[in-house]
Amino acid sequence: MVGKFTGGADHGDTIMQNMARPKSATHDLKRDQILDTAAQCFARQSFPVATMNDIATACGTSKARLYHYYQSKDAILFDVLDRYTQKLLAIIGQVEATAQRRNLDDRAALHELIRAFLHEYQSSAERHVSLLHDTKFLSDEVDTRLGESPRELILNRQRDVVAAVTRALRRAYPQRLNASNQTATTMMLFGMINWTFTWLRPGGPLSYDDFAEDVITLLDRGLGTGPG
């Protein structure tokens, strides 16, 4: 799914090129490799500084070959964030389905969601950096195929993730969360887990799995003891 972006070829020409060029069996795999590498470039250099040439070099290919897959750096950024936010929403759905299948109570279901998010953050650190830092660089021009602008689409998905976590917190700790404190509590939880890429390193003294258990313990000790 590629929206309308500045800096690329004419939108109609791009569609015609994509229709005329048959896709190989490894097309999606190569796109995933490009997106992983591009996210690393954006995290290392920042999105405004990184160039298509930088991404091509990091991919070990030519800029012309990179344009075979993406018409602009903006299109790459959108695809990075489009796929990553879809993955986060899919994780929420998977955890809810697993909780129902295993007959978990609401608190245990929230704990599984925290574990799943941190597990994903460990393997998607660079994409997570782009989500937090680079969404603002997406176009705010409405794309008719998306029904909204690329930026708004990604922002709405972020809002959906936050809303889902808020609901999970309210179900898990109904005695402690209410309309006046639910936003602050949700942001507190995201504040604990969203910035792990800045300090929590795979192979370090604290693993992502161990940290997930620490977060769960803090929540339970702070919210699970009944009204204050």
**3: pLDDT strictly greater than 60:** no
Closest to 144 in 3D by CA, of 1, 14, 4 = 4
Domain assignments of the chain as residue spans, ordered by start: 73-223
pLDDT surpasses 70 at 38 = yes
Q: Alpha helices of 102-207 — where are they, by DSSP H? A: 106-123, 125-134, 150-172, 182-193
Give the least confident one: 10-24, 26-40, 116-130, 193-207: 10-24
Residues 6+ apart with CB under 8 A from 165: 113, 186, 189, 190
Q: What global pTM score does this model have?
A: 0.84
Residue 157 one-letter amino acid: R
Supply the pLDDT for residue 4. 36
Mean pLDDT score across all residues of the chain: 89
Residue 152 has pLDDT above 90, yes or no: yes
Query: What was the pLDDT predicted at 75?
Result: 96
% of residues, the chain, pLDDT over 70 = 86
- Residues 73-223, CATH architecture: Orthogonal Bundle (1.10)
Q: How confident is the model at residue 226 (pLDDT cuts 50, 70, 90)?
A: low
What was the pLDDT predicted at 202?
83
Query: What pLDDT does residue 60 have?
Result: 93
